[in-house]
Amino acid sequence: MTVLVVEDNPSNMRLTCDLLNAHGFHPLKAFSATEALEIVAQKIPDLILIDISLHGMDGLSLIKLLKNNPALKTVPIIVLTAHATKKTEEEAWNAGCDGFIVKPINTRLFPDQLRKYLSKS
């Protein structure tokens, strides 16, 4: 399973990708919304993880763009954020995300959380 990780913090990117690799997922890395758009134009991932707080175009705007792409309609988009407020979660759902995971990532639960979203798609 290919997972696109959109995260501008190198440490968080490394942790997320290490976890994905350890559990048999194949991560694709995008350090910006622009880079994510370039990647999905080349390859459709099975799942997309997006940090809301990206530099430049934020994660919510990226989610809206991705959800408007017919080729990505069925790809689950999961928000990863340290900003676990009710307002942030509501904004993420309104943008079109399919799931919401709060940082720091619970390394024991994370693989099963992703599999749950993948089984729904």
| DSSP code at position 56 | S
**Tokens encoding 117:** 């979203």
pLDDT of 85 higher than 80: yes
Per-residue b or e along 32-61, where b marks 16 or more CB atoms closer than 10 Å to that residue's CB: bbebbbebbeeeebbbbbbbbebeeebbbe
Amino acid at 44: I
pLDDT of 101 higher than 70: yes
Domain residue extents for the chain:
2-120
**Per-residue pLDDT tens digits for 2-51:** 999 999 999 999 999 999 999 999 999 999 999 999 999 999 999 999 99
**Domain 2-120, CATH number (from 3.90.1150.10, 3.40.50.261, 3.40.50.2300, 2.20.25.90):** 3.40.50.2300
Query: What is the value of pTM for the model shown?
Result: 0.95
Output phi, psi for 99, to 5 deg: -165, 165
